[in-house]
Amino acid sequence: MTTKKDKVVELEEAVVRFAGDSGDGMQLTGNLFSDSTAFAGNDFATFPDFPSEIRAPQGTVSGVSGFQIHFGHKNIHTTGDLADVLVAMNPASLKANLKWIKKDAIIIVDIDAFTEKNLTKAGWESNPLEDNTLTGHLVIQAPLSNMTRESVKDLDLDNKSALKSKNMFALGIIFYLFNRDYKKTFSFFETKFKKNPIVVEANKKVLEAGYNYAETLEAFTNTYRIEKASLTKGRYRNVTGNLATAWGLLAASERSGRHIYLGSYPITPATDILQELAKHKQFNCVTQQAEDEIAGVVSTIGGSFAGALAITSTSGPGLSLKSEAIGLAVMTELPMVIVDVQRGGPSTGLPTKSEQSDLMQALYGRNGEAPAIVMAATSATDAFYTAYEAAKLAMEHMTPVILLTDGSIGNGSEVFKIPHVADLPSINPPLAKANDPDYKPYKRDADKLSRLWAIPGTPGLRHRLGGLEKEDITGNVSQDPLNHQKMTDLRQEKVMRVANYIPELKVEGDEEGDVLVVGWGSTHGVLITAVEEMRAEGKSISLAQFKHIMPLPKNVHEVFSKFKKIIVCEINMGQFVNYLRMTHPEFKYEQYNKVQGLPFMVSELKTKFDTLLNA
């Protein structure tokens, strides 16, 4: 007789996608499997895919919620192109996700949900489980709903309450398929539902029932195991980009000695930053959920004036509303971090989808000449370090910093090695000293051109502050045309001199060759994966990924000049490539753009790059 141990197949990587109706708990299911993946020591990246409509009709394709995880023994940079395993809780989720799975994928469906009514709602003309739609796939038709009810029949739950746990039955099947210890998830139930012991018991029973059911299936001729990734020694945890951003700001507060003030208005997909920072009052972190976006940012300016590490978080529509106040922060030369978690636009657009939509707005979306530092995080874990650096640059250079992440970073999660705050770069805000006889409000540091940060209440430092143009050095209100020219030039030059304090642009791959792929922000993972695969095939191709955008690194011309062709890839219509055409017009740029609320796929990028190489 073949034992389970004899049937284990070793894999380098796998992609699993959970999909169901908005109320089926797919995000929770995916997050719990991600936690188990972290416990297993695999590297991973996740892609939560929410419906854009708040209350899409139940059972329809527009209401499908998904969660994809790519995990492996090797370093994982992307959330995966196509899934090896799909869990589809109803006909609509199967229909919405058939194009996102491999031709020989394992498909697990809740057969109880495939009623004539649900098939009609989802737009199926015939039952895909009975025609040839799923030919080539291994289809597991599991009675998830009925077996969930059977698992909890002794707990005296009504039908609706019982079925809330059916996502755990599906999770139990996946735990079995990938040889995971399902009992480690029990502690989550005990913490999450500690006030409702029946719910704790129901979830435990259903999860175990799903695992045991999978063990009896003859269709699973194999189970799979992925060995631990080669991670350096340290303490790790599963973090989303929004969580990492909040933690990076907390670390900057501790390292700089400045309390945090965050004034924000809730907006998808940035709200988690506000919620996370609100939990940490013990770290001298003050948060205000403002009545609107404008109140959030102007209160943040007040926090900066008072000497706090001042932060506001938002998404594209909110950044538009904050633009006038950001100009005030530029004029008053107060430090502030504006976190923009980008989403699909314009207007309400695709609020739950990701897009690199706001670069031009971040660079130029203010009246007058109002330069600000602009940075972009490259991954969920990088959001920690980029948020930290954004706070450092804002305070040390006394100017606003706009930090761009996006929905794929903010909601996506990765394995994060928790650093020691003491090991992070020092942050030294230029604080004015009490009763300094040489203090002048706009007297500047010779190298950075930053003015001193005068904290209210410090003796001898009273001065005028506001949106009217100030006289150089004294800070008096001035309408002098020549002074306005001088102050405008100084504010611009101050931002440009930040290039002296940021890393030079690095090339991943050979430093010269046929094609240089250029990206910025969150596209790094998929771009480096495509480039590495093509380099393994002997192709002359490298990657330059930008984190610092305003100002650009000083060596951009040197890097670009060593390649025959340059292609800029963005999840927008070409905002960064047009910025490069403005700042470095001496080069010719190809471009590849996608605006679908979805990330690039490695396969489509490789096809485009091959075309360019063979042209």
pLDDT in tens, 336-387: 999 999 999 999 999 999 999 999 999 999 999 999 999 999 999 999 999 9
The predicted pLDDT at position 463 comes to 78
CA distance 510 to 531: 11
- The answer as to whether 464 is a domain residue is no
Domain end position, chosen among 164, 197, 225: 225
Same domain for 348 and 268? yes
Same domain for 218 and 284? no
Whether the pLDDT of residue 22 is over 90: the answer is no
Say if CB 92 and CB 113 are below 8 A apart: no
The predicted pLDDT at position 1 comes to 35
Say if CB 252 and CB 434 are below 8 A apart: no
- The answer as to whether 484 is a domain residue is no
Percentage of the chain beyond pLDDT 90 is 91
432 SS3 class = coil
Q: Which helix (H) or strand (E) holds 354?
A: none
Longest dimension (CA), the chain: 93
Total domain count, the chain: 3
Domain end position, chosen among 363, 396, 423: 423
CA distance 71 to 50: 21
- Among 229, 227, 225, 228, smallest CA distance to 178 is for 225
- The answer as to whether 538 is a domain residue is yes
50 vs 564, higher pLDDT: 564
Question: What residues contact residue 515 under an 8 Å CB cut-off, 6+ apart?
Answer: 539, 540, 541, 542, 563, 564, 565, 566, 567, 609, 612, 613
Handedness of CA 27, 32, 35, 41 (dihedral sign): negative
- The answer as to whether 149 is a domain residue is yes
Same domain for 252 and 193? no
Exposed / middle / buried, residue 191 (Cβ in 10 Å: 0-12, 13-18, 19+): exposed
Say if CB 167 and CB 113 are below 8 A apart: no
Handedness of CA 595, 598, 604, 606 (dihedral sign): positive
The predicted pLDDT at position 353 comes to 93
Whether the pLDDT of residue 51 is over 90: the answer is no
Backbone angles phi, psi at 41, to 5 degrees: 85, 15
* Residue 180 identity: R
CA distance 559 to 166: 54
**CATH code (residue 283):** 3.40.50.970
Range 462-472 average pLDDT:
89
Q: Which domain holds residue 415?
A: 237-423
Quick: pLDDT tens for 246-260.
999 999 999 999 999
Global pTM?
A: 0.94
Same domain for 197 and 243? no
Confidence of residue 599 (pLDDT cuts 50, 70, 90): very high
Q: What is the DSSP letter of 188?
A: H
Quick: pLDDT tens for 132-154.
999 999 999 999 999 999 999 99
CA distance 174 to 390: 40
The predicted pLDDT at position 156 comes to 83
Half-sphere exposure of 35 (CA within 13 A, CB side): 14
CA distance 343 to 11: 34
**CATH code (residue 158):** 3.40.920.10
- The answer as to whether 153 is a domain residue is yes
402 SS3 class = strand
Range 92-117 average pLDDT:
96
* Residue 291 identity: E
Confidence of residue 6 (pLDDT cuts 50, 70, 90): low
Same domain for 380 and 323? yes
- The answer as to whether 487 is a domain residue is no
Q: Which helix (H) or strand (E) holds 85?
A: strand 83-88
Same domain for 181 and 261? no
- The answer as to whether 438 is a domain residue is no
Q: Report the side by side order of strands in the sheet with 548-550.
A: 285-289, 260-264, 309-314, 336-342, 400-406, 373-376, 548-550
Domain end position, chosen among 408, 423, 438: 423
Quick: pLDDT tens for 290-314.
999 999 999 999 999 999 999 999 9
Range 386-390 average pLDDT:
98
Same domain for 104 and 208? yes
Same domain for 21 and 163? yes
Report the number of secondary-structure helices (H) and strands (E) in the chain. 20, 22
CA distance 591 to 16: 31
Confidence of residue 526 (pLDDT cuts 50, 70, 90): very high
Same domain for 164 and 215? yes
Whether the pLDDT of residue 3 is over 50: the answer is no
Say if CB 201 and CB 211 are below 8 A apart: no
Q: What is the DSSP letter of 453?
A: B
Mean pLDDT of the residues in the chain: 95
- The answer as to whether 462 is a domain residue is no
CA distance 88 to 193: 26
Helices (H), 422-468: none
Confidence of residue 5 (pLDDT cuts 50, 70, 90): very low
Provide the CA 425 distance to its chain's centre, in angstroms: 23
Range 541-549 average pLDDT:
98
Q: Report the side by side order of strands in the sheet with 507-508.
A: 507-508, 541-546, 513-520, 563-570, 590-593
Same domain for 412 and 284? yes
Q: Which helix (H) or strand (E) holds 388?
A: helix 382-397
Locate 258 and state its tokens.
Answer: 């400045």
Half-sphere exposure of 306 (CA within 13 A, CB side): 14
Say if CB 259 and CB 286 are below 8 A apart: yes
Same domain for 205 and 268? no
Confidence of residue 2 (pLDDT cuts 50, 70, 90): very low
Q: Residues 314, 315, 317, CA angle at the centre, nearest 5°?
A: 110
Judge if the upstream peptide bond of residue 551 is cis by omega within 30 degrees of 0: yes
Range 414-428 average pLDDT:
95
Confidence of residue 242 (pLDDT cuts 50, 70, 90): very high
Say if CB 343 and CB 352 are below 8 A apart: yes
Exposed / middle / buried, residue 425 (Cβ in 10 Å: 0-12, 13-18, 19+): exposed
465 SS3 class = coil
Confidence of residue 465 (pLDDT cuts 50, 70, 90): confident
For the ranges 16-20, 40-44, 187-191, the maximum mean pLDDT occurs at 16-20
Range 146-167 average pLDDT:
92
Range 218-232 average pLDDT:
90
Range 37-53 average pLDDT:
91
Least confident of 7-16, 395-404, 554-563: 7-16
Provide the CA 475 distance to its chain's centre, in angstroms: 40
- Among 216, 557, 524, 203, smallest CA distance to 381 is for 524
Same domain for 395 and 532? no
Whether the pLDDT of residue 495 is over 80: the answer is yes
CA distance 548 to 68: 29
